[in-house]
């Protein structure tokens, strides 16, 4: 038996305090102190409501209010002594409140439980992160729009299988990421609106017999409404899972873009130059300039997926309502949030600073017979050939150019005619990459006119 005294908050039926190992596995204060301001905001709203409903008298409510402000300033000022014996942020705050104001502190927990308290605190914390993610995504999208607008008509190779496919524009490529981050933005907003219900007042699991006003606390904390089922309210972590899955999908987009930047900044590609501010050097090879930020962004997705998977596993077998397993939700979310925000900020900085190398992009755009499809389309449009025949004829011309060691526009008209005698001089118009991209005016296509239209549309979307 431990000679420690029983827990002051819940130890009434305990003769002895917890074993050191019990305390170690049980405590969450090491990490949930990050929710201190949310915890105090929740307690302030709860106390004000207890006063307004006459459950507590005004004198006690005022003492609690002032005491909580003192606790908050101690935590913010770094003078608060967090205690592992007091398990978590909720009991640390309440115990300190008791030191400061005495008996009224013990009345704060009327009509409330740590189960609805932790759900409320955590929701407030996650909601702030959704808001931060929204701001970061808007900024990143704005940075991409600037890149897209500047290079709306810069030609570059478009790839499939990382093989040159058809010429596209730099602006079009940037706008592809705007679409991805735009969907992330919409997922953030959607998840945030769905999660914005207040668990406070669900109490332990069944609600309470005190005449509390859940509308009032919900409103004070910026929630749209109180949650409608107390069992669900204390055991729901969907909001954390939606946060992690939204972060996961966005991190996957960041990672794909980061991978392109790693490839594009290589000496072999030279499509982009990353700024010194977002690159690092090698301690042995003086010539090196490494895209470390892009590589780390590419890697961050791993831990964010990991957090998502971990919390899915934690939650999957839990019976209603609260179980202590759920305390394992926070570290995953904290780590994923920190790294998601960092990755977004780093990508934002890299995109704002990077320079697209217009000449390298253009030189690569015409290589690899990238206008072969334009040639086939010309045979269909001008000579009226079926596309399959046009494809075959073009293929034979690509083979000819390959043996000649030249590109398609370098073949002579006579050489062209060996594949089909109807081919005329006009074919050379469609073989330039500029004409190729300019011709792709279908909605959402790579033509500079389309890219500029999409830039304008997105500027309004994010305004």
41-49, 99-107, 322-330, 423-431 -> range binding ligand ARG (CB under 6 A)? 322-330
Which residue, 30 or 302, has its beta carbon nearer to ligand ARG?
A: 30
**What backbone phi and psi angles, to 5 degrees, belong to 198?**
-85, 125
Q: Is position 39 an interface residue for ligand ARG (rule: CB under 6 A)?
A: no
Is residue 238 within 8 A of residue 195, CB to CB? The reply is yes
Regarding 315 and contact with ligand ARG (CB under 6 A), the answer is no
Tokens 């966005």 found at: 250
Residue of 2, 83, 266, 282 marked active site: 282
User: Does residue 445 sit in helix, strand or coil?
Assistant: coil
Quick one: 237 or 298, whose CB is closer to ligand ARG? 237
Shortest Cβ 28–ligand ARG spacing (Å): 4
Determine which one of 161, 209, 283, 442 is catalytic. 161
CB of 118 to ligand ARG, least distance (A): 4
Residue 282 bears catalytic tag: yes
Q: What span, in angstroms and rounded, lies between the C-alpha atoms of 362 and 348?
A: 25
- Would you say 88 or 260 has its CB closer to ligand ARG? 88
Find the shortest distance in angstroms from Cβ 112 to ligand ARG: 12
Q: Are 129 and 339 contacting, i.e. CB atoms less than 8 angstroms apart?
A: no
Look at residue 273 and give its three-state secondary structure.
strand
Question: Do the beta carbons of residue 102 and residue 171 sit within 8 Å?
Answer: no
**Residue 28 vs 230, nearer CB to ligand ARG:** 28
Residue 272's closest CA among 284, 262, 264, 282? 264
Within 245-274, the residues that bind ligand ARG by CB under 6 A are: none
Instruction: Measure the CA–CA gap between 33 and 80, rounded to whole angstroms.
Output: 11
Least distance (Å) from ligand ARG to the CB of residue 320? 14
**Residue 219 burial by Cβ neighbours in a 10 Å radius (0-12, 13-18, 19+):** middle
Does 115 engage in binding with ligand ARG (CB under 6 A)? yes
Q: Which residues pair with residue 156 across a beta bridge?
A: 168
Q: Is 114 in the site for ligand ARG (CB under 6 A)?
A: yes
SS3 content of the chain, % helix, strand, coil (to 5): 65, 5, 30
Give the residue, chosen from 28, 166, 246, 339, that forms a contact with ligand ARG under the rule CB under 6 A: 28
**Residue among 255, 327, 370, 373 that touches ligand ARG (CB under 6 A):** 327
Q: What number of residues does the chain have? A: 463
Binding ligand ARG by CB under 6 A: which of 45, 55, 105, 118? 118
Sign of CA dihedral 252, 312, 310, 125: positive
State which residue, 87 or 374, has the beta carbon closest to ligand ARG: 87
| 122 vs 369 by CB, closer to ligand ARG | 122
Instruction: State yes or no: residue 120 binds ligand ARG (CB under 6 A).
Output: no
Which span (112-120, 125-133, 183-191, 254-262) binds ligand ARG, by CB under 6 A? 112-120
Q: Which stretch binds ligand ARG (CB under 6 A): 169-177, 271-279, 324-332, 408-416?
A: 324-332
CB atoms within 10 A of CB 396: 12
β-pairing, 163-169 vs 155-160, is antiparallel
Helix, strand, or coil (residue 113):
coil
Q: How far is the CB of 199 from ligand ARG (least distance, A)?
A: 12
CA 186 to CA 86: how far, in whole Å?
A: 40
Q: Side-chain half-sphere of 434: how many Cα atoms within 13 Å?
A: 2
Nearest to 341 by CA among 28, 128, 76: 128
User: What minimum distance in Å lies between the beta carbon of 330 and ligand ARG?
Assistant: 6
Does the active-site annotation cover 161?
Answer: yes
Nearest approach, Cβ of residue 113 and ligand ARG (Å): 7
Q: Is residue 88 near ligand ARG by the rule CB under 6 A?
A: yes
Residues assigned a catalytic role: 161, 282
> Which residues lie near ligand ARG (CB under 6 A)?
28, 32, 88, 114-115, 118, 322, 324, 326-327
């Amino acid at each position: 038996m431990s000679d420690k005294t029983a827990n002051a908050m819940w130890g009434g039926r305990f003769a002895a305090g917890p074993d050191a190992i019990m305390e170690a596995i049980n405590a969450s204060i090491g990490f949930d102190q990050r929710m201190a301001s949310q915890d105090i905001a929740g307690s302030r709203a709860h106390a004000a409501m207890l006063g307004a409903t006459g459950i507590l008298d005004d004198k006690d409510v005022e003492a609690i209010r002032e005491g909580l402000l003192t606790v908050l300033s101690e935590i913010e000022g770094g003078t608060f002594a967090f205690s592992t014996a007091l398990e978590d942020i909720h009991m640390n705050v309440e115990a300190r409140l008791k030191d400061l104001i005495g008996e009224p502190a013990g009345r704060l927990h009327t009509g409330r439980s740590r189960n609805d308290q932790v759900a409320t605190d955590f929701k407030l914390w996650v909601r702030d992160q959704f808001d931060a993610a929204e701001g970061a995504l808007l900024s990143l999208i704005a940075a991409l729009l600037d890149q897209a607008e500047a290079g709306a008509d810069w030609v570059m190779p478009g790839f499939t299988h990382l093989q040159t496919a058809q010429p596209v524009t730099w602006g079009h490529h940037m706008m592809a990421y705007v679409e991805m981050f735009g969907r992330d933005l919409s997922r953030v907003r959607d998840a945030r609106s769905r999660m914005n219900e207040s668990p406070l007042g669900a109490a332990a699991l069944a609600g309470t017999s005190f005449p509390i006003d859940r509308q009032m606390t919900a409103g004070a904390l910026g929630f749209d409404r109180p949650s409608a089922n107390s069992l669900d309210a204390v055991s729901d972590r969907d909001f954390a899972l939606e946060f992690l899955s939204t972060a996961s999908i966005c991190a996957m987009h960041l990672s794909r873009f980061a991978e392109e930047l790693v490839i594009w900044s290589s000496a072999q590609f030279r499509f982009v130059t990353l700024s010194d501010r977002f690159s690092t050097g090698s301690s042995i090879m003086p010539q090196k300039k490494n895209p470390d930020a892009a590589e780390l962004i590419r890697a961050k997705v791993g831990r964010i997926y990991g957090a998502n998977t971990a919390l899915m596993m934690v939650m999957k077998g839990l019976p209603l309502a609260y179980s202590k397993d759920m305390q394992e939700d926070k570290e995953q979310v904290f780590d994923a949030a920190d790294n998601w925000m960092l990755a977004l900020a780093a990508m934002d900085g890299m995109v704002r600073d990077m320079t697209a190398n217009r000449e390298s992009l253009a030189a690569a755009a015409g290589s690899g017979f990238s206008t072969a499809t334009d040639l086939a389309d010309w045979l269909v449009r001008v000579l009226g050939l079926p596309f399959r025949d046009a494809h075959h004829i073009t293929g034979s011309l690509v083979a000819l150019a390959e043996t000649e060691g030249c590109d398609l526009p370098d073949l002579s008209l006579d050489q062209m005619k060996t594949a089909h005698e109807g081919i005329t001089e006009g074919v050379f118009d469609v073989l330039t990459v500029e004409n190729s991209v300019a011709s792709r005016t279908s909605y959402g296509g790579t033509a500079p006119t389309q890219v500029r239209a999409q830039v304008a549309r997105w500027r309004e979307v994010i305004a």
